[in-house]
Amino acid sequence: MVQATIKPTPAKTRDVQVATIGNNTQVLRSRTWDRLKFEIEYSRQKGTTSNSYLIQADQIALIDPPGQSFTQIYLETLEKSFNWHKLDYIILQHVNPNRLATVQVLAGKAPQAKIICSKPAVNALKAALTFPEWQTRIQVVREGDTLDLGQGHQLQFISVPTPRWVDGFCTYDPQSKILYTDKFFGAHLCDEPIFDDNWKQLDQDRRFYFDCLHATQTKQLETALDKFTAFPNKIYAPAHGSLIKYSLSRFSYDYRQWCQQQKAQELKVVLLYASAYGNTATMANAIAQGLVQSGVAVESINCELASTEEITQAIQTCDGFIIGSPTLGGHAPTQIQTALGIILANAAKTKLAGVFGSYGWSGEAIDVLENKLRDAHYSLGFEPIRVRFSPTATTLEECQQAGREFTQKLKKTKKLRTPKQAVTETQIDRTEQAVGRIVGSLCVLTTFHDNQHSGVLTSWVSQATFNPPGLMIAVAKEQNADLIRNPGDKFVLNILNEGRNVRRNFSYQSSNSFNNLNTKTASNGCLIIEEALAYLECTVHSRMESGDRTLIYAVIDCGEVLENHGITAIQHRKSGSHY
C-alpha cells in the first residue's frame, strides 16, 4: 500500500469551482485545501474536492450534492445558476449522514424536486427528511432504469453496491458520454485543474485512495468495472479529485491491476461487520487499512448485504477472520449472530480471529463475540477493541495498529504450520509432490464400482515404498474394504486441505454423497475432490488381513498437488482405541 506522506498544503479559503464539462452540464467542485476529516483516506493532507454535477436540459438534475462541510457555500453558488423552483431531480448515488444535511436544505428550497436513490437508501432518507410529505418525493431506481431530461440526456442507472456503500449506483449520460462514477476513480487532492491534464503525477494519490476505499472490496469493484465497459465513455466524473479525460484507459487498467495484486497476496483475511450508525463500519475500514498496509488481502463483508453462502465460502477459504458488531438493545444484530454461527460451524480452529465493535451504553455484543470464539478455542490476533459512540482519531489509529498486529501473528502462525520441505514443480515432478503430502494425513478414498461412486474418510495412510512409489492403507470391513481388496482395483486418495470442511460429507463407517462438492473424474474412473490439497491415483497391488483391519498396499500411478500453499489436514485423536 502507498504510505501517507505528510505534506500539508498552505491554508486557503474554501470555495466552489464551477466549470462547463459538456453540453448543458457543469461541475461544481467544493474545495478545501485542509484535511477535511480525520479518517485515514484523508491522511495525505492534500485537501480534497467534493464534486457535484448539474445538468440543465429540458429538465434539471443535480447529482451528488456535497456534505455539510460545504452546505452554505455550495448553496450560495448554486443559486447563481438557476431558480430553485426549476430543479426537477436531486440524484443521490449514495447516501450518508454527512450528505443528508445538505439534502434536507435542498429539499426545503426546491419542494417540487424528486429525490432519486436506490432502494437500500430509502430508509436513511425517510429518517432524515423532517416532513412526511417529503417521503412521497423519493423515486427509487434500479439497474437499467433511465431518466429522460430531454435534448438527448437520457440518463442510465448502473447498480454498483459494495460492502461500504450498499446503496451505490453510477449514472451514464449518453449525450455527453460522461459516466458519473461517484466513489470510483477518485483521489483526495485539491488543485486548480478540472481535468487530469497532469495524470502522470497523480499515481500515488490515486493508489492511496484505492487502497483506503477499495482494496477490501475488489470482487465488487471488478464487477463494476465490467459494467462500465459497456458504455462509450469520454469522461469519468468522480466524487473527489479531478475529472478523468486523458487517462481513461490507463486508470481503468490500474484499477484492474491493483485488484489482481490484492487477490494475489499470500494471506487472506475476511472482515465481517454490521453497522447501525456507521461507527462500526468506520472501525472496520481502519482495521482493514492496517491489514492492507501489512501486505494481506482483505475481503470486507457487510453482513447486512451478504448471503449465508457468500459468508460460508469466505470463511472456508480465508487464513483468518475479524468480526465487528454494534450493540442494539443489549444484543448483536441478527446478521452478526448468523455470521457467528457460520464461523463456529465452518472455520477451522487453527484460523486466527479478531473482535471489535461500537456501542452506546453497554457493549454486550462485543463480549458475546469474544466469549463465543474463546470458548470455541480460537486464538485472537489482538485484544478486542470497544468504542463507545463514534471513534476518534486516536481510536482509528488503534484500529490500524490492530490490523498490523493481526498480520504479524498470522504470518508467524502460518510460518510455524507451513511444511518445511515445500518444493516446487521445477524441483521434482507433480506425483512426488503429492506423495510428499502424506504425513498421517486426513484423506477421502474414492472408488468406482458397478457405476457407483463411493467415498470414505480415512487417516490410516502411510507411504510404504519409494520405487515404485507406493502406500499402505488400513481399512475396516465397514469402510467398504471389499471395493479395493483385489489386485488391480483402482481408487483415488484425496489428501484433504486444512481449513476446508470436506470431511463433513463423509464418515469413517460409510460412504456418503458428493453433494456440495466440486469433483472431476480421474483417468482411472474414480472421483477427484477439487477442494482437496492433492490427489493420488492408485492401483491395488496386494493385501494382508491384520486383526480388525485389512492392510492394502497400492502402487501410485500418478498424482498432483491442487493447492501449493495449503497444509495437510491431520486427524487428531484422544485415544488409540477408536477414531
Q: So what's the pLDDT on residue 573?
A: 65
Write down the pLDDT at residue 330.
85
More confident residue, 114 or 38: 114
pLDDT value at 423 more than 60: no
Mean pLDDT of 218-239: 94
The cell for 152 is 438527448
The owner of cell 474418510 is 457
As a three-state string, the secondary structure of 209-265 is HHHHHCCCCHHHHHHHHHHHCCCCCCEEEECCCCEECCCHHHHHHHHHHHHHHHHCC
Averaged pLDDT for residues 446-473: 89
Closest CA to 51 of 26, 76, 14, 73: 26
Please say whether the beta carbons of 270 and 301 come within 8 A.
yes
Cα dist from 374 to 217, 344, 368, whole Å: 28, 11, 10
**Mode of pairing for the β-strands spanning 87-91 and 60-63:** parallel
Max CA distance (Å), the chain: 95
Question: Predicted confidence band at 5 (pLDDT cuts at 50, 70, 90)?
Answer: very low
Pick the closest to residue 445 from 498, 349, 346, 522 (CA basis): 522
Q: Distance between CA atoms of 227 and 520, rounded to whole angstroms?
A: 32
**Position with higher pLDDT, 10 vs 313:** 313
- Residue 525 has a CB neighbour count (10 Å cut-off) of 16
Per-residue pLDDT at 497: 87
pLDDT at 342 over 50: yes
What pLDDT is stored for residue 42 in this prediction? 55
Q: How far is CA 29 from the centre of its chain?
A: 31
C-alpha–C-alpha distance, residues 527 and 524, integer Å: 9
Alpha carbons 443 and 479: distance in angstroms, whole number: 13
* Grid coordinates belonging to 518: 466440486
Q: How confident is the model at residue 36 (pLDDT cuts 50, 70, 90)?
A: low
What are residue 249's phi and psi, to 5 degrees? -70, -40
- Residue 500 · residue 316 · CB < 8 Å: yes
Lowest mean pLDDT among 23-37, 257-271, 314-328, 505-519: 505-519
Using an 8 Å Cβ cutoff, are 36 and 42 in contact?
A: yes
Least Cα distance to 570 among 436, 440, 435 occurs for: 440
Q: Which domains does the chain have, with CATH numbers?
A: 15-262 (3.60.15.10), 266-417 (3.40.50.360), 430-571 (2.30.110.10)
Strands of the sheet with 169-173, listed across from one edge: 146-148, 154-159, 169-173, 178-182, 235-238
Q: List, in order, residues 6 or more apart from 578 with CB less than 8 Å away.
A: none
